[in-house]
Structure 1
Amino acid sequence: MGATSVLMKENVRKKNTGIEFQENDINVLIEIASRVIAPLWPISTFAARHPWMGLERQSFDQVAAWLKETHDVDIYPSVSMILSAKEKGEIDEAFVKLGLQQWLDSHSFTISRCVLERFCHRALKLEPLPNSLLSSQQLEELVDEYCERNASSSEHRPTQPVSFRIRNQHGERLVNILDYHVIKWCKLYLDESQAGWSMPNRKEGFYSAWRRLVQYDPALSKKQRDRLKGLPNEANKALQEVLFALKVPISEVQTYLEGHLLSLPGWAGMMLWRSKQSSHEQALLTEYLAVRISMEWALVQPYLPLTNQQSENKIATASLIASWLHWVGLTTEEWSQLSSVKQNEYVMFARSFDEKLCKKIWLEAWEQTQLDRLRRQISSNKCKTKDKKTSLAQFAFCIDVRSEPFRRQLEKEGSFETIGIAGFFGLPIATSRLGSDLSHPSLPVILKPQNTVKEETGQKELQSYLERKQAVHSISNTFKTMKQNVLSSLLLPELSGPWLSLQMVLRSFMPRRTGHLIRNLRESWLRKPNTTLSLHHVHNQEESLPIGFSEEEKVNYARNSLRMMGLLKDFSPLVVFCGHGSQSTNNPYASSLDCGACGGASGGFNARVLATLCNLPEVRQALSSEGITIPENTVFVAAEHNTTVDELHWIYVPDLSDDAQKAFNRIEAILPRVSQNANKKRLAQLAHLQKKLKNPNAVAHEFAEDWSEVRPEWGLARNAAFIIGQRELTQNCDLEGRVFLHNYDWKQDESGDLLASIIAGPGTVTQWINLQYYASTVAPHYYGSGNKVTQTVTAGLGVMQGNASDLLAGLPWQSVMLSDYEAFHSPLRLLIVIQAPKDYVEQLLKNDSIFREKVQNGWVRLASIDSEGRWETW
């Protein structure tokens, strides 16, 4: 980031007109610069997004310092969050003191240790310096004297884009005006569903379409439009030309591009994502930068060349000197009597031990406290290994943190074993619902589907169902068409007003009953027939992916999924694969409450596919020949855990054996109580429901159906750890819905391949989820998406605040904050705990350089527990 490109130094050639890039240089620099943003998926296929995924080769601390310096974005928890956590007892101050001593021990200073400790202890109180001191005449004189002696020692600051440094005659920063124009053009180009008229010449590409239309943009002055008329036809040539016109030094081009990408990381992230989806848009990010920097050149040209900007060095130096006066008790006379060398040492120390470092020490102490308490909780767990043969049923749940409380309530009700596995159940599939021509990838976005599975039914039933479905869609499409047409939109309120008014009143005052009624009416009208799945391979050259599975694939997927959950023997009569989904009304973030990994896809379809595969006689026979013997009376079924109402819904129940039927009846009897208890615990955490509830299930359903509810559930807020080990390790622990749980038995993984697979797949996904919640909490103005109440869904892609903001990539305020002033989510980096011998973890770190880099650079934390219960941190 911002470093001089070696490639650029080698491939620069001079001409009479100045310095130019060779043909491929600009594309290489854009590729490198794009690491500072992350791809942004459309909100309808919401997936957890780690905003710093391209920067993990640098340490968390380095990225934090760079973002603060270049964009004033602080990715450490705020002072108020730290102090609130301290008051709640979430931070053991002994770890703060230990962190300070370790930092001091790792550095060498000429200032005496006792003086440094006094300074640091006061700094760690995170109290602001008094305004009376900062504005005093005495301090100003000390600062002037110091700066005169050290005029040439000011720190180098990275080059910012020109528009960041200019204000117009009204005092408005030109970058804000530039952002306004860029947002407008991005919305026009990327719109997929909302605009009545699409952008002219859109098929020619973003840059070409913009270049043609911008000449008629009334929001620009005639002079600004004239400047843009002569731009080259190709985006990369235009980008080179305007960078040269702006006199951006070769060594600063990468930094310059990074600055522009970070100005609107949401829209830039969407362009990056689109560029990776299709071959005809591969250069979309280049086109985006060409449009943006060309417009910057048109806006800033009257202000060039820039005059020297006023240095901020004095303001920064004033706070550094003031900190010594206020925290250590130096008088102005004592400061003046210090030699210039000594003053420099004091200032340099204060600059290094700044607020950012203080917050780093506090964050690490917070994380260490959480680790220590989890260690003590697990170490005191006296759960004995269950005899799995006596289990009535086995339930495989998604590792999602919301599954943990439900699993605990289920285990309390009888001899039930619960298992944690990634919610797509290891099936790399795209799913196609009955009557749909489109398929949806139903797996983590870091993977690509290998097969398509479709819902099927008889031809007669399908035709009848499609006719009913088409009738519903026709009404919806007619309404949308009338709304977007100039003339029909005038008539629409008269036609739709009575129905929509009645619906509004009923949904507002009786949300649960109304939602239930509307859903029943829709289901009664559609009457979806019973379906089967296209599991058997069908050769179809028109499809991009194979439909169904080959015989070998059926066995491989079943074996690998069972192995991943450690279910290779001691099968219960009933095995339940539980996907998970959610339920909410009028919620643009509805898909974010489904599987956080699978692009907004619920896991029920995958659960049904796997259960059906495991019930196939040919699959069982093949598994038996490999030593995985499934008893004849064992039946696999599929269900879905609705996390908004904490209910389990059956979605595939074949004919059951007598033993499986007994287990099924027992489960049916206890599920209402499990839901009631789980909802009671979960709803108590919601800010406006911290009271005793007579009927938690009814309240949960009301939240799910209420179209004014901004927080139907907390989602994955407060996630903090990922435990990879046997269920007995945590079974009696109340983990408060904060921990991802994945089953793992190192004794069945001699090669360590299974552990490596868990880390590479679910480990990556949980880290992405964790850091998205982290970023949306510590920097909501930059990485979050603001208040749900004031959001605008735009272009069918995502949300904005108002009609001209960045495309907001993160989570809304209501997903992470308890109130306007108090965070609900604790911004802690993910702690991964592996139950395995030390040498297993060492082998993992040795073989997986990407994971090793994440641990070493502070993007995740790692601990392990061996067979003797000894903990090791890495």
Structure 2
Amino acid sequence: MSGTSVLMKESSKTKDSQSDFQEMSAIIAAASQVIAPLWPISTFAARSPWLGLEKQSFAGVASWLKETRDVDIYPSALMILAAKRKGEIDEKFVQRALQQWLDSNSFPIPRDEAERFCQAALKLEPLPTELLSSSKLEQLVAHLHELNSGSGGKFTMQPLSSSIENQSHERLINILDHHIIKWCKLYLDDSQAGWTMPNREKGFYRAWQRLIQYDPALSKNQRQSLKGWPEKPQTALKAALLALEISESEIQPYLEGHLLSLPGWAGMMLWRSQQSSAEQELLTEYLAVRISMEWALIHPYMPLTNERVAYKASIASLLASWLHWGELPMEEWLQMSDAQQQAYLSFASIFDDQLRRKIWLEAWEQTHEERLRQKMISSQYKTGHKKTPLAQLAFCIDARSEPFRRQLEKEGPFETIGIAGFFGLPIATSGLGHTHSHPSLPIMLKPQHKIRELAEEHELQLYQHRKQAVHSLSYTFKTMKQNVLASLLLPELSGPWLSLQMAARSFVPRRAGRFLRNLREGWLRKPNTELSLHHADKREVGLPVGFSDQEKVNYARQTLKMMGLTKNFAPLVVICGHSSQSTNNPYAAALDCGACGGAAGGFNARVFAALCNLPEVREKLTYEGIEIPDDTVFVAAEHRTTVDDLEWIYVPKLTEAAQEAFARIEAIMPDVSHKANAARLAQLPQLQSQLKKPSAEAQRFAEDWSEIRPEWGLARNAAFIIGKRELTEGCDLEGRAFLHNYDWQEDADGALLASIIAGPGTVAQWINLQYYASTVAPHYYGSGSKATQTVTAGLGVMQGNASDLLTGLPWQSVMATDFEAYHSPLRLLIVIQAPSEHIERLLKTDSTFRQKVRNGWVRLASVDREGHWRNWQPYTINELLNEPYKERSE
């Protein structure tokens, strides 16, 4: 059937009416829930790969992914057994869960036999291969009908091309994916290609439609089948689906199957479609291109005769499991009736591998929770009378701040505070001399203001001239590389310098990095700058520059309340953003703020500190009950996580008391940095021995361009604790917890808690699930080894030159070795210090958060006013909403 005949058939059945387009758009929007938006790697943002699936239970999504994509999102048996050997799982929780499961289900088999089977199966040992291949087992299976083990979960239809092979025995879907990757790279490339895709400005589909007839990778017949294909992507998509004989009821699951085939490239298209109205139909265009090309590839094989069959459990493995784990003699099996045999096989199919590993995962999580509870309770008893702090330091909730804060508190009368590292400022920032701005806030929010860095006009012009010289040199080098003739001369010109740089970076990376950085800074000579805090009568890119007088007060008040810092101010208040430092690292942005698209927090810290130092802001805050003493000064710094030190970025004139505190911090900082680096580097697999100079070694890691693991990032994150610092002060939380200050007594209406859960709580969950997914399913949700990654189109990484656009973290971010995981894949535990009635109010009013807890995407616990720990299980939430509430405390 030619493309023209497809269109004739299509036009006889349907019209391109507005209602048809709206219906198809709604179907595509619903199908897109199975993928998550993917940001460019330069603005890396943590993302949960299951963002659109949280209305379903975690267990349900796990079953669906296993059945439809053969993607397993429970930790593997090897990972679980390794955690057990390391003492991370208390088996009492496994036994408790097993008994609860057996008690809550009724099976027509003896309880002792069922329990014996389960106990043996929970050892997670594979069935003997000699049993599975034995002739006796084959004879027994021959007398049985196959047992359907479908879970009845969400169904996603596989693309037709996945079941067809060409004459070379290559599956058509692999050929299709190869074509789609090529077209996506051509269209999305913004920085690497010397030549841009023709007709790119007309959109992805139109550009493809114009060029596909010249694609030499397709046969003449394949190109002919797409000749005269519709001009509009929605029309083309409908025509392709009709030609493939996909019924209306199958369209959404069919589109889901195609989106899940390359979730990285599809996720990038989804993200781009959300950024501007010009590309809002980009995901539709992607599907139109993909399914149109599938039609061209499948066309010679039409009509298809192979039936679509549901997944069937292997009767052999089910029966073998009873013979081995259940210790059931073959003779006894032969004496059973058909109904008894069916009951035994049904039981084995229900207590399957996924359920067994689900029990182990929950036991792992409960063990972590129990040990965290014991630490926090013992900390409460140890906390005695506190000295008046010499300085208060506010850090991002980032889990890497926790060990640094602990070392700092040990060295003197310092109070540390946890808060989201954008400090409540919805701003886009523009550095000195930059023509563009960068959103510097969590990605789920939009900037409301633009803050520019300013300097004297004369100094600014000189700085821009020097910066332009550097830019011109870089641009010339890139242009010569992409020019056929100039590239022949380039090695002769640049070879000596680049060879010298390569040798220096390879053999003396720390000194080379320091030299190059000083050379650049010495040439640029950035002048002293001010910030455009005060509202100007102009807008840039639709945003007002600066704040109005009332906005300054509002943002200062809101953030101080979020910090719990409304009284008892120390002479020095340090607002600490955080950043990372690494060389030759595509994932450098991932080590900065996981919430803010790779933005470092120093600029926001400086803006907030400067706001709090304004006399007019302090005066108005006094009227609202927040009185900042005259001798208190706010300064800004940046915690550099790769080298664990503080870099001062804004220090105004200090009062005598503030100067004393500042000098004290400066004096202890080398020792704090030394101890923090020693503790952190000891966790890296290549540095197990005692280091004499940990700070120097950390600096080498940051400068070494061959280093695949400059730091662990947020690996092993497992908890988000919302409460007073006294709750965790003195606890060694091992850098595994996000810490946010909160005082429920200052939050009568629950607004602060709701804001923390909706903002930082969501970000922490996304970070947690990204690490989780990259660990349990690295082939699908991770990005493979850094050593074999290819940066493509300026957008992200691939393995080789034609893979999916990889969505998750590299192998080196979650694995200690090729065979041992470093990150413990546990779902985030949120601990809130507040009375039960406050938690009940939160769960009743925040349906999104309630859904996450009930469906197992996060776990929830609370610590009440008496210090009692309470675990909020899904059944307690059901009771809260539907039945009389009964207290269950531990």
Whole-Å Cα distance in 2 between the matches of residues 308 and 329 of structure 1? 40
Q: TM-score, normalised by structure 2?
A: 0.95
The Cα offsets for residues 710-752 of structure 1, whole Å up to 9 and x where unpaired, read as 0000000000000000001111100000000000010111111
Is the 1:93–1:365 Cα contact (8 Å) retained in structure 2? yes
CA 1:154/1:548 → structure 2, altered by over 3 Å: closer, same or farther?
closer
Whole-Å Cα distance in 2 between the matches of residues 592 and 152 of structure 1? 40
CA 1:630/1:857 → structure 2, altered by over 3 Å: closer, same or farther?
same
- The residue number in structure 2 matching 1:451 is 449
User: 1:512 Cα deviation (Å)?
Assistant: 0.2
CA 1:18/1:610 → structure 2, altered by over 3 Å: closer, same or farther?
closer
Is the 1:430–1:453 Cα contact (8 Å) retained in structure 2? yes
Please, which runs of 5 or more residues in structure 1 have no aligned partner?
1-12
Whole-Å Cα distance in 2 between the matches of residues 505 and 154 of structure 1? 59
**Which 10-residue stretch deviates more, 195-204 or 339-348?**
339-348
Is 1:819 matched up with 2:850? Answer: no
Q: 1:862 aligns with which of 845, 852, 860?
A: 860
| Percent identical residues | 70
- The residue number in structure 1 matching 2:580 is 582
- The residue number in structure 2 matching 1:526 is 524
Whole-Å Cα distance in 1 between the matches of residues 494 and 782 of structure 2? 36
Is 1:346 matched up with 2:344? Answer: yes
User: 1:101 Cα deviation (Å)?
Assistant: 1.1
- The residue number in structure 2 matching 1:209 is 207
Whole-Å Cα distance in 1 between the matches of residues 35 and 567 of structure 2? 46
Is the 1:388–1:570 Cα contact (8 Å) retained in structure 2? no
- The residue number in structure 2 matching 1:471 is 469
Whole-Å Cα distance in 2 between the matches of residues 351 and 212 of structure 1? 52
Q: Secondary structure at the match of 2:92?
A: helix
Is the 1:710–1:788 Cα contact (8 Å) retained in structure 2? yes
Q: TM-score, normalised by structure 1?
A: 0.96
User: 1:311 Cα deviation (Å)?
Assistant: 6.6
- The residue number in structure 2 matching 1:407 is 405
User: 1:155 Cα deviation (Å)?
Assistant: 8.6
User: 1:160 Cα deviation (Å)?
Assistant: 1.4
Whole-Å Cα distance in 1 between the matches of residues 440 and 387 of structure 2? 33
Q: Secondary structure at the match of 2:143?
A: helix
User: 1:543 Cα deviation (Å)?
Assistant: 3.7
CA RMSD of aligned residues (A): 1.8
- The residue number in structure 1 matching 2:556 is 558
Task: Give the aligned residue type for 1:549.
Answer: F
Whole-Å Cα distance in 1 between the matches of residues 222 and 690 of structure 2? 63
Whole-Å Cα distance in 2 between the matches of residues 183 and 378 of structure 1? 50
The Cα offsets for residues 293-318 of structure 1, whole Å up to 9 and x where unpaired, read as 11111111222233336978777121
User: 1:375 Cα deviation (Å)?
Assistant: 0.6
Task: Give the aligned residue type for 1:471.
Answer: A
Task: Give the aligned residue type for 1:516.
Answer: R
Is the 1:644–1:713 Cα contact (8 Å) retained in structure 2? yes
- The residue number in structure 1 matching 2:234 is 236
- The residue number in structure 2 matching 1:567 is 565
Task: Give the aligned residue type for 1:399.
Answer: I
Whole-Å Cα distance in 2 between the matches of residues 277 and 351 of structure 1? 46
**Which 10-residue stretch deviates more, 154-163 or 279-288?**
154-163
Whole-Å Cα distance in 1 between the matches of residues 130 and 282 of structure 2? 52
Task: Give the aligned residue type for 2:111.
Answer: R
Task: Give the aligned residue type for 2:757.
Answer: I
Is the 2:426–2:448 Cα contact (8 Å) retained in structure 1? yes
Q: 1:795 aligns with which of 776, 793, 796?
A: 793
Q: Secondary structure at the match of 1:762?
A: helix
Q: Secondary structure at the match of 2:832?
A: strand
Q: 1:540 aligns with which of 538, 541, 546?
A: 538
Task: Give the aligned residue type for 1:175.
Answer: I
Q: 1:513 aligns with which of 511, 519, 536?
A: 511
Is the 2:148–2:313 Cα contact (8 Å) retained in structure 1? no
Task: Give the aligned residue type for 2:242.
Answer: F
- The residue number in structure 2 matching 1:35 is 33
Whole-Å Cα distance in 1 between the matches of residues 106 and 151 of structure 2? 22
- The residue number in structure 1 matching 2:437 is 439
Q: Secondary structure at the match of 1:91?
A: coil
User: 1:487 Cα deviation (Å)?
Assistant: 1.3
Is the 2:156–2:257 Cα contact (8 Å) retained in structure 1? no
Q: 1:249 aligns with which of 247, 250, 268?
A: 247
The Cα offsets for residues 272-296 of structure 1, whole Å up to 9 and x where unpaired, read as 0000101010100000000001111
Q: Secondary structure at the match of 2:464?
A: helix
Whole-Å Cα distance in 2 between the matches of residues 449 and 632 of structure 1? 32
CA 1:625/1:163 → structure 2, altered by over 3 Å: closer, same or farther?
same
User: 1:159 Cα deviation (Å)?
Assistant: 2.9
Q: Secondary structure at the match of 1:328?
A: coil
CA 1:51/1:836 → structure 2, altered by over 3 Å: closer, same or farther?
same
- The residue number in structure 1 matching 2:270 is 272
Is 1:687 matched up with 2:650? Answer: no
The Cα offsets for residues 594-615 of structure 1, whole Å up to 9 and x where unpaired, read as 0111100000000000000000
Task: Give the aligned residue type for 1:416.
Answer: F
CA 1:290/1:297 → structure 2, altered by over 3 Å: closer, same or farther?
same
- The residue number in structure 2 matching 1:64 is 62
Q: Secondary structure at the match of 1:580?
A: strand
Whole-Å Cα distance in 2 between the matches of residues 384 and 68 of structure 1? 47
- The residue number in structure 2 matching 1:286 is 284
User: 1:111 Cα deviation (Å)?
Assistant: 1.0
Please, which runs of 5 or more residues in structure 2 have no aligned partner?
1-8, 873-890
CA 1:313/1:713 → structure 2, altered by over 3 Å: closer, same or farther?
closer
Q: 2:808 aligns with which of 797, 805, 810?
A: 810
Q: 2:370 aligns with which of 369, 372, 392?
A: 372
Whole-Å Cα distance in 1 between the matches of residues 421 and 381 of structure 2? 26
Question: 1:101-180 alignment to 2 at 5 Å?
Answer: 101-147=99-145, 158-180=156-178
- The residue number in structure 1 matching 2:831 is 833
User: 1:171 Cα deviation (Å)?
Assistant: 2.1
Whole-Å Cα distance in 2 between the matches of residues 515 and 77 of structure 1? 40
Whole-Å Cα distance in 2 between the matches of residues 153 and 590 of structure 1? 43
Q: Secondary structure at the match of 1:750?
A: coil
Whole-Å Cα distance in 2 between the matches of residues 303 and 832 of structure 1? 53
Whole-Å Cα distance in 2 between the matches of residues 262 and 154 of structure 1? 20
Is 1:317 matched up with 2:315? Answer: yes
CA 1:560/1:383 → structure 2, altered by over 3 Å: closer, same or farther?
farther
Is the 1:154–1:313 Cα contact (8 Å) retained in structure 2? no
Whole-Å Cα distance in 1 between the matches of residues 287 and 311 of structure 2? 32
Whole-Å Cα distance in 1 between the matches of residues 342 and 26 of structure 2? 41
Is 1:83 matched up with 2:81? Answer: yes
- The residue number in structure 2 matching 1:394 is 392
Q: Secondary structure at the match of 1:430?
A: strand
User: 1:170 Cα deviation (Å)?
Assistant: 2.1
The Cα offsets for residues 603-661 of structure 1, whole Å up to 9 and x where unpaired, read as 00000000000000000000001110000000000000000000101000000000000
Task: Give the aligned residue type for 1:481.
Answer: T
Q: Secondary structure at the match of 1:737?
A: coil
Is the 1:793–1:800 Cα contact (8 Å) retained in structure 2? yes
CA 1:383/1:315 → structure 2, altered by over 3 Å: closer, same or farther?
closer
User: 1:139 Cα deviation (Å)?
Assistant: 1.6
Task: Give the aligned residue type for 1:645.
Answer: V
Q: 1:778 aligns with which of 767, 776, 779?
A: 776
Task: Give the aligned residue type for 2:346.
Answer: M
Task: Give the aligned residue type for 2:144.
Answer: Y
Task: Give the aligned residue type for 2:261.
Answer: S
Whole-Å Cα distance in 1 between the matches of residues 150 and 696 of structure 2? 67
User: 1:152 Cα deviation (Å)?
Assistant: 13
User: 1:589 Cα deviation (Å)?
Assistant: 0.5
User: 1:418 Cα deviation (Å)?
Assistant: 0.3
Whole-Å Cα distance in 2 between the matches of residues 687 and 427 of structure 1? 38
Is the 1:389–1:570 Cα contact (8 Å) retained in structure 2? no
User: 1:580 Cα deviation (Å)?
Assistant: 0.2
Task: Give the aligned residue type for 1:669.
Answer: A
Task: Give the aligned residue type for 1:199.
Answer: M
Q: 1:741 aligns with which of 729, 739, 742?
A: 739
CA 1:872/1:19 → structure 2, altered by over 3 Å: closer, same or farther?
farther
User: 1:327 Cα deviation (Å)?
Assistant: 1.1
Q: Secondary structure at the match of 2:81?
A: helix
- How many residue pairs get aligned? The number is 861
